[in-house]
């Protein structure tokens, strides 16, 4: 391929900050708040025009991963404060039972309010927020990491003693030369969409008449008087939609998360196989997924009872990514650590969601695995094995693929964010590299701040 040589340029430097957080999504918001709470001057760099990550960009059905299969809470501390702020703003009813029985509880979120609630929270906590600041490069000089963003003002460098990579795709680590696990297989990308003007009474009448078409929690849930409900199924109608030539994508089932009060439903059904770090593949995904959204909108109006007068009220603002780069860490969260609910001496967070893996080339999941109990997430899987003073949180941690398919859920990402932000603050304020941090001091601080993890016990590793 032809190339063009870019000349050297002098880039203005802002800072130094104690902590720079790259990526203002699920994990990044919590990382920035945790760092600021721990006393660090903190800047949060986000490529998009608002903060919130996938919850906001994808219009997620709900935030999940807060409870394990036994109903034990596995996420606490700062993420709980976010839930309280959301509830106070009318942006969430709080944790509600999962009607599908897939997980114990789920947290419906009003996406537009979520964007405002999180940016107000960040501002209240003294975090300097920088939307429209995509990370483009990273340079280490004079004991500081310079995180370089491509902004409307041109390239700007933000110097920091410690950095947190919460970009989901580990963009900062990639620019800083860190190493990654192979990306030979990945879950598909998707685009969620919302339908408005749904007649939920008619939709639920169909569900009651055809319970065999849906996966439900033990016993048929009582949907009466509900503000939110969710469904996993519609297989027979999807088949009919294919036969009628309405749908080009073959799906066995779909997830429909319903907001009764606003007559809306969020639909998770589209999918496309793409490497999210390949910008050309993501361009193809954008085209393919928006075509699928239009097909499914028509299908809903023509074939799903209750949706006859519905309309496309919102679509995700970008392609949604389940899996891309995973850093090669000081250690790796193994599939069996998740399956067996292992505890770690250097634990800093906890997960408990099922292994939730979508098939990039098939019409269903590629083997959901029930996770019987919560498992610890150790600090060592958040730390790149080599490279500058960076810690990661979110779906770019060092994990085997099935382990990540559980840990990528938003509740777990928030818990990891709190841990990573606190660690970055302790590193910066104590002039101690992240890889040499006193783990028990970090754990003490996290426990004081309400974080949940076991850090020792019967099924211990490391």
Distance CA 405, CA 420 (A): 20
In Å, what is the CA distance from 229 to each residue of 56, 145, 309? 19, 46, 20
Q: Count CB-CB contacts under 10 A for residue 294.
A: 12
Helices (H), 304-458: 335-339, 401-407, 410-429, 439-448
Whether 55 and 63 have beta carbons less than 8 Å apart is answered as yes
Distance CA 48, CA 211 (A): 41
In the complex, least distance from residue 59 CB atom to ligand FAD, rounded to whole angstroms? 9
**For ligand FAD, the closer CB: 29 or 455:** 29
**DSSP classification of residue 436:** G
In the complex, least distance from residue 353 CB atom to ligand FAD, rounded to whole angstroms? 8
Distance CA 316, CA 55 (A): 10
In the complex, least distance from residue 247 CB atom to ligand FAD, rounded to whole angstroms? 18
Select from 132, 32, 57, 114 the least CA-distant residue to 321: 57
Phi, psi of 350 (to 5 degrees): -145, 145
In the complex, least distance from residue 143 CB atom to ligand FAD, rounded to whole angstroms? 23
**CB-nearest residue to ligand FAD:** 25
**DSSP classification of residue 320:** B
**For ligand FAD, the closer CB: 153 or 440:** 153
In the complex, least distance from residue 230 CB atom to ligand FAD, rounded to whole angstroms? 9
Question: Contact residues for ligand FAD (CB under 6 A)?
Answer: 22-28, 45-48, 53-54, 58, 60-65, 134-135, 166-169, 171, 190, 192, 268, 320-322, 394-395, 408-410, 413
**For ligand FAD, the closer CB: 183 or 459:** 183
| Assigned token pair, 144 | 């500081």
In the complex, least distance from residue 402 CB atom to ligand FAD, rounded to whole angstroms? 15
**For ligand FAD, the closer CB: 65 or 455:** 65
């Amino acid at each position: 391929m032809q190339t063009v040589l870019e000349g050297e340029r002098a880039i203005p430097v802002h800072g130094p900050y104690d902590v720079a957080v790259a990526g203002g999504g699920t994990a990044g918001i919590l990382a920035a708040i945790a760092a600021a709470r721990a006393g660090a001057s903190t800047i949060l760099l986000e490529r998009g025009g608002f903060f919130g990550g996938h919850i906001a960009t994808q219009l997620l059905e709900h935030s999940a991963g807060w409870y394990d299969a036994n109903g034990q809470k596995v996420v606490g501390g700062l993420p709980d404060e976010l839930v309280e702020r959301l509830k106070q703003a009318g942006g969430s009813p709080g944790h509600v039972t999962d009607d599908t029985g897939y997980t114990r509880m789920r947290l419906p979120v009003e996406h537009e309010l979520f964007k405002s609630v999180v940016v107000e929270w960040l501002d209240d906590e003294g975090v300097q927020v920088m939307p429209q600041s995509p990370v483009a490069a990273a340079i280490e000089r004079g004991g500081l990491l310079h995180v370089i963003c491509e902004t409307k003002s041109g390239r700007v460098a933000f110097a920091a003693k410690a950095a947190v990579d919460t970009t989901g795709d580990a963009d900062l680590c990639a620019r800083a030369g860190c190493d990654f696990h192979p990306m030979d297989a990945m879950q598909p990308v998707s685009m969620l969409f919302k339908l408005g003007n749904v007649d939920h009474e008619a939709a639920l009448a169909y569900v009651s008449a055809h319970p065999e078409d849906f996966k439900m929690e033990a016993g048929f849930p009582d949907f009466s008087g509900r503000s939110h409900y969710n469904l996993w199924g519609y297989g027979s109608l999807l088949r009919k939609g294919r036969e009628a030539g309405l749908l080009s994508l073959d799906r066995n089932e779909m997830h429909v998360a319903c907001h009764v009060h606003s007559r809306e439903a969020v639909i998770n059904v589209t999918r496309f196989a793409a490497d999210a770090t390949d910008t050309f593949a993501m361009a193809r995904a954008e085209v393919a997924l928006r075509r699928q959204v239009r097909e499914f909108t028509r299908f809903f109006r023509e074939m799903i009872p209750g949706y006859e007068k519905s309309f496309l009220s919102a679509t995700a603002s970008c392609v949604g990514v389940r899996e891309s780069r995973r850093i090669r860490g000081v250690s790796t969260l193994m599939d069996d650590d998740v399956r067996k609910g292992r505890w770690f001496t250097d634990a800093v967070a906890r997960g408990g969601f099922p292994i939730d893996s979508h098939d990039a080339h098939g019409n269903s999941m590629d083997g959901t695995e029930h996770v019987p109990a919560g498992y610890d997430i150790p600090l060592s899987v958040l730390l790149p094995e080599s490279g500058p003073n960076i810690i990661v949180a979110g779906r770019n941690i060092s994990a085997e693929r099935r382990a990540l398919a559980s840990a990528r859920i938003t509740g777990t990402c928030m818990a990891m964010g709190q841990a990573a932000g606190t660690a970055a603050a302790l590193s910066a304020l104590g002039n101690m590299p992240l890889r040499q941090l006193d783990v028990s001091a970090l754990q003490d601080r996290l426990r004081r701040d309400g974080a949940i993890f076991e850090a020792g016990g019967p099924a211990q590793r490391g």
